[in-house]
Amino acid sequence: MEKVAFILILILTVSFTTGSVLSTDFSSNKTINSPKQIKENAQPTPKDQEINKSFHKIASLKYDVKKCNCKHKSNEFADVLAKKSAKNIYLITIEHESGEYSHMVVSWEGKVYDATMTPSVYGMDEDRYLNGLKKYGFNGLRVKTPYSSNKKY
Summarize pLDDT for 57-95 with one digit per residue, the tens.
Answer: 999 999 999 999 999 999 999 999 999 989 999 999 999
The Cα–Cα gap between 130 and 121 comes to 12
For the cut 80, the answer to whether the pLDDT of residue 109 exceeds it is: yes
Cβ contacts of residue 62 below 8 Å, gap of 6+? 68
**Whole-number Å distance between alpha carbons of 144 and 147:** 9
* Residues in Cβ contact with 130 at an 8 Å cutoff, skipping those fewer than 6 apart: 92, 94, 112, 142
pTM check: above 0.75: no
Q: What is the band of 30 on the pLDDT scale with cuts at 50, 70, 90? A: very low
| b/e burial code for range 31-44 (CB count within 10 A of at least 16 → b) | beeeeeeeeeeeee
- Which is more confident, 35 or 45? 45
Task: Note the pLDDT of residue 134.
Answer: 93
Q: Does 23 or 109 have the greater pLDDT score?
A: 109
